[in-house]
């Protein structure tokens, strides 16, 4: 399977990439790790006339603390997230989530920005990003803007990014010491994509709870009902069981959490 013919561009800066997007409009696609775009091009599900390879743009990868948040550059690979000592210490949910993605080849090539921008309904990061209350930084002709992750995923493979915007960074707010966080998924046996995946973040006092779900609809969603059932409760086994049972499919979970269906 070969992709349709395309013209290849390799901009040296974000501004150059943005001006290419502005000029080439719908005929162009950005290329990051290529682990979603290239398969789609080979299957001819995507046939961009121009491919804008952003991998040589400096400053778009890396993980650092910045103004009370953790900033992750768009081109940071899943492997870099999985192996980051900063994230292991301060946001283990992301290292855990990244470690479940695909196989070593996918994790070495695929990027955080590419995964979020692609908005695959079975991707893993969206659940974690929602649970953590992340923000996405987009850069376009008018400069940068920050989008709350709850406003970012719009539907199947659709985000709040404008056609001439590039996702440049994801920002994770800091959570108090002692916050518990975990990601569990039922992986597809072939691709390892999430048939369903759930990310949960709970502060030690139980006052702040974040729960994100992926794989169960056309986009990842915040499980608001589960969050409400857990917030402020003493998180013993009974409270957790009650929250889970109260939101089971038989008792209206789908109606409550997935009212967009
Ligand atoms: C065999 C296989 C198994 C996989 N398993 C999993 C899995 O278990 N879990 C999972 O979550 N994912 C999985 N993936 C997907 C993988 O994580 C991809 O890396 C990811 O979806 C896309 O990231 P990328 O960097 O490869 O983006 P690309 O493929 O380069 O781009 C994807 C899309 O996003 C756009 N884009 C890329 N970067 C940006 C940016 N910075 N700003 C704006 N738009 C951008 C591109 O134009 C394109 O439309 C798998 C992929 C493969 C091939």
| Residue 214 CB–ligand 1 contact under 6 Å | no
| Residue 36 CB–ligand 1 contact under 6 Å | yes
How far is the C-alpha of 53 from the C-alpha of 57, rounded, in Å? 9
Distance of alpha carbon 52 from its chain centroid, rounded?
21
CATH architecture of 180-257: 2-Layer Sandwich (3.30)
Domain range 7-53, its CATH number among 3.30.43.10, 3.40.50.2300, 3.40.50.720, 3.40.50.2000: 3.30.43.10
What strands, in cross-sheet order, belong to the sheet with 166-173?
Answer: 63-66, 69-73, 166-173, 135-140, 143-148
What 3 state SS string does the chain have?
Answer: CCCCCCEEECCCCHHHHHHHHHHHHHHEEEECCCCCHHHHHHCCCCCCCEEEECCCCCCCCCEEEECCEEEEECCCEHHHHHCCHHHHHHCHHHHHHHHCCCCHHHHHHCEHHHHHHHCCCCCCHHHHHHHHCCEEEEEECCEEEEEEHHHCEEECCEECCCCCCEEEEEEEECCCCCCEEEEEEEECCCCCCEEEEEEEEECCCCCCEEEEEECCCCCCEECHHHHHHHCCCCCCHHHHHHHHHHCCHHHCHHHHHCCCC
Structural domain spans, the chain: 7-53, 63-173, 180-257
24-65 pLDDT, tens digit each: 999 999 999 999 999 999 999 999 999 999 999 999 999 999
Section 9-13 average pLDDT: 98
Q: Would you say 173 and 69 are in contact if contact means Cβ atoms under 8 Å apart?
A: yes
257, pLDDT greater than 70:
no
Percent with pLDDT over 70 in the chain? 94
Q: Report the separation in Å between the CA atom of 117 and the middle of ligand 1, taken as the mean of its atom positions.
A: 8
**Residue 248: how many other CB atoms lie within 10 Å:** 10
Per this entry, what is the length of the chain?
261
| Residue 87 CB–ligand 1 contact under 6 Å | no
Position 66 scores a pLDDT of: 96
Integer-rounded Cα Rg, in Å, for the chain is 19
255, pLDDT greater than 70:
no
Domain range 63-173, its CATH number among 3.40.720.10, 3.20.20.10, 3.30.465.10, 1.20.1200.10: 3.30.465.10
How far is the C-alpha of 208 from the C-alpha of 231, rounded, in Å? 6
250, pLDDT greater than 70:
no
259, pLDDT greater than 70:
no
| Residue 107 CB–ligand 1 contact under 6 Å | no
Q: Would you say 109 and 71 are in contact if contact means Cβ atoms under 8 Å apart?
A: no
Q: Would you say 126 and 114 are in contact if contact means Cβ atoms under 8 Å apart?
A: no
Task: Return the ligand 1 atom nearest residue 168 CA.
Answer: 41
pTM of the model: 0.94
Q: Among 32, 53, 56, which is best to mutate for testing ligand 1, by the most ligand atoms less than 8 A from CB?
A: 32
User: Tokens representing 69?
Assistant: 């948040």
Position 125 scores a pLDDT of: 98
**Do the first three CATH levels of 63-173 and 180-257 match, i.e. the same topology?**
no
């Amino acid at each position: 399977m070969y992709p349709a013919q395309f013209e290849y561009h390799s901009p040296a800066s974000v501004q150059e990439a943005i001006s290419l997007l502005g000029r080439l409009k719908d005929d162009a696609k950005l290329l990051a790790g290529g682990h979603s775009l290239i398969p789609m091009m080979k299957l001819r599900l995507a046939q961009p006339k121009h491919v804008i390879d952003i991998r040589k743009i400096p400053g778009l990868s890396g993980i650092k603390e910045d103004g009370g948040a953790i900033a992750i550059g768009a081109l940071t690979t899943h492997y870099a997230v999985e192996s980051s000592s900063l994230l292991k210490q301060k946001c283990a949910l992301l290292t855990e989530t990244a470690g479940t993605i695909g196989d070593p080849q996918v994790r070495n090539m695929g990027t955080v920005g590419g995964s979020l921008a692609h908005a695959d309904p079975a991707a893993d990061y969206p659940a974690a990003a929602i649970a953590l209350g992340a923000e996405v930084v987009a850069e376009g002709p008018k400069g940068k803007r920050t989008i709350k992750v709850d406003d970012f995923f719009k539907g199947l493979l659709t985000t709040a990014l404008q056609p001439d915007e590039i996702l440049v960074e994801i920002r994770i707010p800091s959570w108090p010491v002692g916050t518990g966080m975990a990601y569990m998924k039922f992986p597809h046996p072939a691709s390892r994509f999430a048939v369903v995946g759930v990310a949960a973040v709970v502060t030690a006092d139980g006052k702040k709870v974040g729960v994100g779900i992926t794989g169960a609809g056309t986009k990842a969603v915040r499980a608001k009902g589960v969050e409400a059932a857990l917030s402020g409760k003493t998180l013993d086994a009974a409270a957790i069981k009650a929250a889970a049972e109260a939101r089971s499919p038989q008792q209206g979970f789908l109606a409550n959490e997935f009212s967009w269906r």
